[in-house]
């Protein structure tokens, strides 16, 4: 029998080392080497002879390959189908990541119930909860999940053997849900479930099973403190689609975001509301994020983001208050703190609003995370409004990227952003004069600006600074 050996594998790139080190020499990441127990390859003469020679594969000309439009499976959860690109692709593998308690198991149990009702046999494998715990969750859902086949197992070999056999009324399993990948282990490797080797090998074998049998595989993955899915980074490279389930535990809405999708566009989002009967899709996310914006105070501005192909209106809130300690605070929620520091410097140098002696707090309402620069103009307008304590126009929207010279730069897909804003009752839009569309949606008034100073003069006053 081959002896096992211990190596240290990088969770980012998969490089292996005989001993632990603080830095991975392959990718340059720090503190990413994890201990992994692997079995040595057998060295029998038969195995060596098999490895020395191989069987040549048949090749085909690329032009002779014909494509067949395989119909997608729709679950009826419109937001879930939208994020996947129009529905579930048979034979694909989807990784769903999120923090503990965010609702990953609830979402996929609802998906399993809807697929089973639509005639797609589904096997739900739970490695963390007992059958009674899964039944108690299913009883709370609005969907009837009583027909879903359940297996409480952590051995990958048993899971694959069960999924290959007919279930229920002798029907083939079309959808396999694993909850979660960190609890599954294979007998081919030593080591506890959840380590680098076990997660990588189990994911690779599940992917092969999905492609060989045309079974759709959903895999739940936990998120680390850094926000990434636990396990090796190669886990996200193996699967076809990566979905992140995000949200604040104190709020009742959740955001499903696609960061990788081989069958659709990335960065699409779907919004759900968590209720007692499960997760309910939100048809109009903009109305949800702006629903409580009634009495507009100073430091509030509205911006339109592009989440994939969908425009979403969000409210930016800023508060500048007198610092109570020697060093002023800079707190950013929903945006990069370094981006906030950059915008504060531009506001001071180009706009004449100094926040050097003020505590600055910036928040994106609703727990949204903003990465695109189109929110820059809304942030600086909200900051200037809070400094002088003068509200911005109530039904105005701010679109623009801010350069270090104080210039307002255009953003992409302006027409779609403005159309979404007009739909929600916005009457005025401040944007770069180089991005003015030929025709404004509805009765919206478009104000083209070139510099930050011009924006501040039109909103908080010429002499406010």
CA distance 31 to 18: 15
Q: Check pLDDT > 80 for residue 372.
A: yes
Ligand-binding annotation for 101, yes or no, is yes
- Three-class secondary structure of residue 292 per DSSP: coil
Q: Which fold has domain 288-458?
A: Ribosomal Protein S5; domain 2 (3.30.230)
CA distance 201 to 231: 11
Which pLDDT does position 38 carry in this prediction? 64
Ligand-binding annotation for 220, yes or no, is no
Query: pLDDT by residue (tens digit) across 299-342?
Result: 999 999 998 888 999 999 999 998 877 789 999 999 999 999 99
Which pLDDT does position 1 carry in this prediction? 44
Q: Which fold has domain 70-283?
A: Rossmann fold (3.40.50)
Which pLDDT does position 226 carry in this prediction? 63
User: Average pLDDT in the 158-186 region?
Assistant: 90
- The pTM of the whole model exceeds 0.75: yes
User: Average pLDDT in the 117-133 region?
Assistant: 93
| C-alpha 275 chain-centroid distance | 21
- Supply the mean pLDDT for the chain: 87
Confidence grade of residue 295 (pLDDT, cut at 50, 70, 90): low
Residues forming a β-bridge with 149: 123
Query: pLDDT by residue (tens digit) across 335-368?
Result: 999 999 999 999 999 998 888 899 999 999 887 8
User: Average pLDDT in the 197-222 region?
Assistant: 92
Ligand-binding annotation for 391, yes or no, is no
Ligand-binding annotation for 228, yes or no, is no
Ligand-binding annotation for 105, yes or no, is yes
Ligand-binding annotation for 268, yes or no, is no
Ligand-binding annotation for 197, yes or no, is no
Q: Is the dihedral of CA 98, 102, 104, 105 positive or negative?
A: positive
Confidence grade of residue 140 (pLDDT, cut at 50, 70, 90): very high
Count Cβ atoms within 10 A of the Cβ of residue 275 and give its class: 0-12 exposed, 13-18 middle, 19 or more buried.
exposed
Instruction: Mean pLDDT check: name the lowest of 31-45, 89-103, 375-389.
Output: 31-45
CA distance 157 to 118: 28
Query: pLDDT by residue (tens digit) across 1-53?
Result: 455 677 888 877 777 888 888 888 888 888 888 777 665 555 455 555 555 56
Ligand-binding annotation for 103, yes or no, is yes
Query: pLDDT by residue (tens digit) across 412-442?
Result: 999 999 999 998 889 999 999 998 888 888 8
């Amino acid at each position: 029998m081959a002896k096992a050996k211990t190596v240290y594998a990088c969770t980012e790139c998969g490089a292996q080392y005989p001993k632990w080190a603080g830095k991975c020499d392959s990718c340059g990441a720090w503190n990413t080497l994890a201990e992994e127990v692997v079995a040595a390859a057998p060295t029998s003469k038969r195995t060596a002879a098999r490895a020395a020679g191989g069987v040549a594969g048949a090749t085909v000309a690329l032009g002779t390959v014909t494509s067949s439009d395989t119909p997608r499976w729709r679950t009826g959860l419109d937001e879930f189908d939208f994020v996947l690109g129009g529905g579930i692709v048979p034979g694909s593998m989807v990784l769903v990541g999120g923090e503990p308690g965010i609702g990953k198991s609830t979402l996929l149990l609802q998906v399993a119930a809807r697929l089973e009702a639509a005639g797609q046999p589904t096997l739900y494998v739970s490695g963390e909860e007992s059958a009674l715990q899964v039944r108690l969750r299913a009883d709370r859902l609005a969907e009837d999940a009583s027909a879903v086949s359940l297996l409480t197992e952590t051995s990958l070999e048993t899971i694959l053997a069960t999924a290959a056999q007919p279930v229920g009324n002798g029907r083939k399993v079309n959808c396999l849900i694993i909850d979660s990948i960190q609890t599954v282990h294979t007998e081919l490797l030593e080591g506890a479930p959840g380590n680098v080797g076990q997660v990588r090998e189990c994911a690779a074998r599940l992917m092969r099973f999905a492609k060989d049998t045309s079974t759709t595989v959903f895999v739940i993955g936990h998120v680390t403190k850094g926000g990434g899915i636990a396990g090796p980074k190669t886990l996200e490279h193996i699967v076809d689609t990566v979905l992140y389930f995000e949200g604040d535990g104190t709020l009742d809405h959740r955001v499903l975001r696609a960061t990788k999708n081989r069958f659709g566009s990335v960065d699409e989002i779907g919004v759900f509301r968590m209720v007692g009967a499960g997760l309910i899709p939100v048809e109009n996310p903009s109305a949800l994020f702006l629903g409580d914006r009634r009495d507009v105070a100073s430091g509030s501005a509205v911006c339109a983001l592009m989440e994939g192909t969908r425009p979403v209106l969000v409210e930016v809130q800023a508060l500048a208050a007198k610092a109570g300690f020697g060093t002023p605070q800079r707190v950013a929620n929903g945006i990069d703190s370094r981006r906030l520091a950059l915008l504060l410097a531009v506001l001071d140098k180009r706009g004449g609003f100094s926040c050097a002696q003020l505590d600055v707090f910036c928040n994106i309402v609703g727990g949204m995370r903003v990465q695109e620069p189109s929110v820059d103009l809304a942030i600086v307008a909200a900051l200037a409004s809070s400094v002088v304590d003068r509200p911005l126009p109530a039904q105005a929207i701010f679109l623009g990227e801010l350069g270090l010279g104080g210039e307002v730069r255009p953003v992409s897909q302006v027409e779609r952003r403005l159309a979404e804003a007009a739909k929600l009752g916005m009457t005025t839009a401040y944007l770069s004069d180089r991005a003015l569309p030929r025709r404004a949606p509805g009765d919206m008034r478009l104000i083209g600006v070139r510099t930050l100073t011009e924006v501040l003069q039109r909103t908080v006053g010429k002499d406010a600074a």
